Structure 1
Amino acid sequence: MTDPQDTDPASVRKNTPGRGVRPEATAIDPAAPDEFGLVQVWWGDGKGKTTAALGMGFRAAGHGYRVHMLQFMKGGADSVEAVRGEYNAIAAMPGFSYENLGHYGWAGLKDGSDDADHAKQADAGLARAKELVAGSADADLTEPLDLDGDPEDGVHFLILDEILYAVAMDLLSEDDVLELVEEKPENLELVLTGSHDNPTYLHDVADLVTNVRKVKHPIDSGQRARRGTEY
């Protein structure tokens, strides 16, 4: 039987992390997370996989943790302008950095791009991801990191955006990604995104697997990518 005292408003507030105090913005100073170290997988045919990863990245950076995003397969395309709102926002955010190893166009499509170039970029992305994971393994992730430091010197939160698409398109192998997860240091939060195909090969090693499902999407009726929502 539940003790009524455990459910009264005062007790509920007392047992929450913020003790019922309304949160407010504070200055961002270098800090270290207490509970990082999970592997997150975001896949599906719905819009929002990268967006979710970015949202968590901004949240982590807002606490003073060092965050980096490495993007696979996101080069230029005729459907978007040569600017992305998230890059501008990341550049203005202390402790958050990014890099892009995509190539123009999309692998497997007749859009004028060369599939061999896509494969070369994916291989370069994998090599860079290994470098970033190794740098974090050498760093003390239980301590604050320089918010302006090079990402290869260690980060608390690493996003490998669209890496799962690279596997689905046979630009990388499942074993490539599994090896990255295996090499991940204990306190590094690792987020992997992409792919309309279920990455079942990761189910046993991931702590969180989210399927972002499409119910309805304006692209199906001809809506092109919009500045401020898709890029």
Structure 2
Amino acid sequence: MTDTDDAESAEPTDGGDAPTETRRNTPGRGVRPTADAIEPAAPAEFGLVQAWWGGGKGKTTASLGMAFRAAGHGYRVHLLQFMKGGADSVEDVRGEYNAIAAVPGISYENTGHYGWHRMADGTEEDDHRAKAKGAMKRARELLAAAGNADLTEPLPLDADPEAGVHLLVLDEVLYAADQGLIDENEVLDLIESKPATLELVLTGSHTEPTYLLEAADLVSEVRKVKHPFDAGTRARKGTEY
């Protein structure tokens, strides 16, 4: 009998149906890990710039997934949303806000104007521009605060983001730049001023942000193959908001 035969015939344990020798080489050794309590901690390898763009659904969803993952490890996280002030198809309280409120270490703020830019919904260009400019000002304040904090150390999970954060998500900032509400150079200036150990995540834009290709460490395109919006389906509670 070969070593492979031995592995395949090994008796399973209470960790599951896979043979013991197979489970031995998995991270959890075949046993489902139990969750730890969330305690303040500091990341050892943060400091990159991520950009998520494209015509497909999933850019904000991906950034929120990372945000909750980081918060689950006890890192301080903040979400600053551009251009998401609501619309007649979206309730004012999105599901992520309720989830964020229930998880230690992660906070959010929404700076968007009601309606969506260039959607013929009666909102004024200048109002959208003013909101986007205000969000950019706030982003600079948060980066400056992170620069004044020691991000190699744990941060209080209940502290205001002005005390520093380990991960900052600027949701739809790339779309604001694509729409001309803020300047692309302002986005590059944010990256340039970023503290070395702050993880910065930028989302938005259906147009490739080529100006970011050198400045960002990760650039992912979320490509649309098919979308229910094209068939007239409106935003659905629990999936789009």
Q: Does 1:76 align with 2:86?
A: yes
Q: What is the one-letter code of the residue matched to 1:142?
A: T
Give the SS at the match of 1:126.
helix
Letter in 2 for 1:119: R
Q: Which amino acid aligns with 1:125?
A: A
Unaligned runs of 5+ in 2: 1-20
- TM-score norm. by structure 2 comes to 0.88
Equivalent residue, structure 1, for 2:109: 99
Shift of 1:12: 4.2
2:99 aligned residue: 89
**Offset of residue 23 of structure 1:** 2.3
- By how many angstroms is 1:109 displaced? 2.5
Deviation at 1:68, TM superposition (A): 0.1
Partner of 1:187: 197
2:38 matched to 1:23? Answer: no
Identity in percent = 67
**What displacement does 1:82 show?**
2.2
Q: Which residue of 2 aligns with 1:36?
A: 46
Deviates more, 1:181-190 or 1:18-27: 18-27
Secondary structure of 1:164's counterpart equals helix
- What CA deviation, in whole Å up to 9, does each residue of 1:111-156 have, x standing for no partner? 1111101000001000000000010011000000010111011000
Deviation at 1:79, TM superposition (A): 1.1
What residue number does 1:122 align with?
A: 132
Q: RMSD in angstroms over aligned alpha carbons?
A: 1.6
Residue identity matched to 2:81: Q
Output the amino acid matched with 1:180.
Answer: L
Structure 2 counterpart SS, 1:123: helix
**Which is worse superposed, 156-165 or 107-116?**
107-116
How far has the Cα of 1:22 moved from its partner? Answer: 4.0
Letter in 1 for 2:217: D
Pick one of 123, 126, 129 that aligns with 1:113: 123
Report how many aligned residue pairs link the two structures. 222
